[in-house]
Amino acid sequence: MEKKEKTKLSVTGNHCVISYFYVIVLVLLLGSCVANNTKGEESAELMSKAVPVWAEGREKEMNLTLGFRGTFNADPHSEAILRVAASTVYRLFFNGEFVGSGPARAGHGYFRVDRYDLSERLKAGENIVAIEVAGYNVNTYYTTDQPSFLQAEATVDGKVVLHTGENGRFEATEIRERLQKVERYSFQRPFTEYYRLEEGYDQWRSDKTRTLETVKLVPMPLVNLLPRGVDQPAYTLLKPVQLYSRGTFASKIPGQYYKDRSLVNISEQFKGYPETALEAVPSQRIQELQTVTKESLNTPYVGSTTIDLKTNEFSILDFGINQTGFIGAVIRCTEPTEVWFHFDEMLTDDDVISKKRMADVNNQVVYELQPGEYRIESFEPYTFKFLKILVTQGDCRVEKIFLREFAAPEHPDAAFSSSNEKLNRIYDAAKQTYRQNALDVFMDCPSRERAGWLCDSYFTAIMEKEFTGYSKVAHNFYENYALPEKFEFLPEGMIPMCYPADHNDGVFIPNWSLWFIVQIDDYAKRGGDRQLVADLKTRITDLLAYFEKFENEDGLLEKLESWIFVEWSKANSLVQDVNYPTNMLYSAALQSAARLYDNEAWQMKADHIRSQIQKQSFNGEFFVDNAVRKDGVLRVTDQITEVCQYYAFFFNIATPESYPALWKKLTDEFGPHRNTAITYPQVAVANAFIGNYLRMDILSRYGLQSQLISEIEEYFFYMAERTGTLWENVHSQASCNHGFASYIGHVLYRDVLGISNIDYEKKKIVLRFTDLDLEQCSGSIPVEDEVIRLEWKRVDNQIQYRLDIPAGYEVTIENRSKNQLVDLDKISTYRQG
């Protein structure tokens, strides 16, 4: 290894955010001044001439899709930059080729600008920019309900050559091929996709001679622009790995149709088109398309593979693992044809029956095609391992099937490998799960919701730092919470449970707002933007003030409002009147706030709550979940859950020293092998989210790494094996790709590889070697543009290792194993960089 300056070594035994405000004075009919806040980037990153535009009088119309086209001339050797901001979602084509999809999400009233370098795509003469924008205008957990617009600007060698607004040379057409009055994809996401196409429907993107039926564009109110702030997604074209099966189906009326709330609960509060107004209802028809015959194929899919399908025939393709992206293919038909793309994360009864596995999503994209050849690609991203193509009318040939990946780019220096192949598979699943859930905010899942939830994001944010070396998504995520003056529909001081989103029904999770404080504390510890942390002080102060009115005579939170969430288990039914896990979290949040803002009063309150929980909740054997007030007296119940015990140890209400008997029970008798019918049947079992993850951390904290490895395999390998991603629950009847679950990558780095802690502020690394049933392990963690690399192997009674760390970092090595440590490069060859 290259030798550089030594690090300090000890061995023990066993965007500063610089805020720039650009005021662009634009004289319009009303004359207005708008400050474009460009936090963290130069003004050149934002737009100088473009203004927001949309079809006149239609900016609040639901699910209206417009196609914008503009041209400019350039020399192929020029630098061409395109900047785009939009509401709600757009995709960009340049000279007919897909370039990207966006935008990155921001808090209400703010919009992020995507910057595309088109220089390598330029051709001599005329170049065509085509941007499709779907203005959804409905409240969701995924996108915000704000009036539609596009604001775009192209520069060549720094000179504006194309922009939205007067004399900017953009024209627009309504894309009627995508049906407008369709049902929502889910309660949490906007509309499904249903198309009626004729050959040549997409030629306007690449052929300027293709005349558009234009709509009148008018300026929209000016908006606050922000830089994108996060990396552009990876758009790798993924191919199926095999043809899984094919067969026939028939239309059969089910005994009872399942109608999701996103279909039947449309109202002024929950926006969409009512069922009676829909142009098509595929969520009901898909329940009629029932398999009659099926033939297993399991043959490799290659680039030349073609699939010929006739009426009432289907084919199922396997993409190998769960993936997220845009569905594409080439379809040729000689007669009117209807093709359905139906998909799911796993098979049900050896078939794709998404409504049977997870009924509250509409996992289908439908194309009605006139005779011709079509290159189709979905507008929205979807998540699946298996894709079922059904033809309900006509004959067609389907080829060049792909999924255009929509995921965070993979960092080459984030790696893990060991002599235990199960752990390797779990790590790979963690990385895939992270990538598909961390594009612009930390999402819970890339499928049903695509929502930026608190709590989930505590775990995912840690993985961003270790998988990428930066906290770019974390910065955007927390900045989004800092931006709005207030959050509509929520009580004063409360923050949304997921954001950016609209919560018109007023629902919030008080626990998640407490996790927010814990998350900001962790963000600060990992070297997060100090100015952003300072900017959030008022938000956190107001939030804690909200909770004060729920403190009872003991200082504990009692009778909290709205949706109190502990975890997906029986614990969620034991949340009133005083919920002790919630108060454990409250104590931790107060302690985090005290540490962040040097507030002694908050620390004193945290200590008091901790002592009250210890006094009330522990029954001599377990911590009890709740107390109920009856006749004015608060009485502790006899209800006990496994996750309550984990909350107690995770939030330092309990330690192995202070509660040794309970700790012994948890480590010896609980975990993945507990027979709940025999062993403490009165203690309700924990779930993956979040109990099993809290368990992983407390086992690690108190030195039980060997036990941890065994439990990791039991909890997570079956998930990695079945979908290549990690799940929301221990069972598969929900999302099988949940962002928080990527946290197991941190556990593998920390407890298996041995990179126990990285102090990014003080630039100190702790390595910890323990007795593990492994022959060797190697891995690396990016640290900004540098990397920590560690590899070790067991030889006889030695652990032989090599270490490579970034410049300026110090290392402490703790040997808690029975083996002698041998530095293969010797201490004198420790290097930096």
pLDDT in tens, 559-590: 999 999 999 999 999 999 999 999 999 999 99
- The count of residues in the chain is 833
Closest to 201 measured CA to CA, from 88, 55, 394, 369: 369
Q: Which helix (DSSP H) or strand (DSSP E) does residue 589 occupy?
A: helix 580-597
**648 residue type, one letter:** A
Q: Cis link prior to 500 (omega < 30° from 0)? A: yes
Residue 9 tokens, joined:
């070594």
How many Cβ atoms sit within 10 Å of the Cβ of residue 663?
A: 18
Q: What is the pLDDT of residues 600-655, one digit of tens each?
A: 999 999 999 999 999 999 999 999 999 999 999 999 999 999 999 999 999 999 99
Q: Averaged over 2-25, what is the pLDDT?
A: 34
Distance CA(730)–CA(717), nearest Å, equals 11
Residue 373 tokens, joined:
């050849």
Task: Give the model's pLDDT for residue 45.
Answer: 59
The pLDDT of residue 31 is above 70: no
Task: Give the model's pLDDT for residue 15.
Answer: 35
* 392 contacts 311 by C-beta, under 8 angstroms: yes
Closest to 582 measured CA to CA, from 652, 662, 510: 510
Task: Give the model's pLDDT for residue 9.
Answer: 39
Q: Cis link prior to 771 (omega < 30° from 0)? A: no
Percent of the chain with pLDDT over 90: 93
* 228 contacts 112 by C-beta, under 8 angstroms: yes
Q: Averaged over 769-798, what is the pLDDT?
A: 97
Q: What is the pTM for the complete model shown?
A: 0.93
Distance CA(330)–CA(639), nearest Å, equals 58
**369 residue type, one letter:** L
Distance CA(66)–CA(176), nearest Å, equals 9
Task: Give the model's pLDDT for residue 360.
Answer: 93
Task: Give the model's pLDDT for residue 543.
Answer: 98
Task: Give the model's pLDDT for residue 160.
Answer: 97
93 DSSP β-pair partners? 98, 130
Residue 544 tokens, joined:
């804690």
Residue 184 tokens, joined:
């929502």
Place of tokens 């946290």: 743
The pLDDT of residue 241 is above 80: yes
Distance CA(774)–CA(424), nearest Å, equals 12
Q: How do beta strands 80-87 and 217-219 pair?
A: unpaired
Distance CA(340)–CA(389), nearest Å, equals 6
The pLDDT of residue 33 is above 60: no
What residue ranges define each of the domains in the chain, with the CATH number in brackets?
1-14+754-833 (2.60.420), 42-227 (2.60.120.260), 237-252+288-405 (2.60.120.260), 415-753 (1.50.10.10)
Q: Is the dihedral of CA 182, 252, 327, 723 positive or negative?
A: positive
Q: Averaged over 68-72, what is the pLDDT?
A: 98
Q: Averaged over 271-284, what is the pLDDT?
A: 97
* 371 contacts 380 by C-beta, under 8 angstroms: no
767 vs 6, more confident: 767
Q: Give phi and psi for 815, each to the nearest 5.
A: -105, 100
* 111 contacts 102 by C-beta, under 8 angstroms: no
The pLDDT confidence band at residue 433, using thresholds 50, 70 and 90, is: very high
Task: Give the model's pLDDT for residue 832.
Answer: 35
The pLDDT of residue 747 is above 80: yes
Task: Give the model's pLDDT for residue 209.
Answer: 87
Percent of the chain with pLDDT over 70: 94
The pLDDT of residue 830 is above 90: no
* Average pLDDT taken over every residue of the chain: 93
Distance CA(812)–CA(820), nearest Å, equals 16
Question: How far is the CA of 46 from the CAs of 113, 235, 294, 598, 833, in angstroms?
Answer: 7, 24, 55, 37, 35
Q: What is the pLDDT of residues 461-504, one digit of tens each?
A: 999 999 999 999 999 999 999 999 999 999 999 999 999 999 99
Distance CA(372)–CA(443), nearest Å, equals 39
The pLDDT of residue 706 is above 60: yes
Task: Give the model's pLDDT for residue 715.
Answer: 96
The pLDDT of residue 24 is above 60: no
Q: Is the dihedral of CA 554, 560, 566, 570 positive or negative?
A: positive
How many Cβ atoms sit within 10 Å of the Cβ of residue 572?
A: 16
Residue 206 burial by CB count (10 A; 0-12/13-18/19+): exposed, middle or buried?
middle
Q: Which residues contact 148 (CB under 8 A, 6 or more apart)?
A: 54, 58, 59, 60, 61, 64, 66, 87, 88, 133, 135, 136, 137, 220
Distance CA(305)–CA(559), nearest Å, equals 61
Q: Give the SS3 label for residue 788.
A: strand
Task: Give the model's pLDDT for residue 12.
Answer: 39
The pLDDT of residue 172 is above 90: yes
The pLDDT of residue 593 is above 50: yes
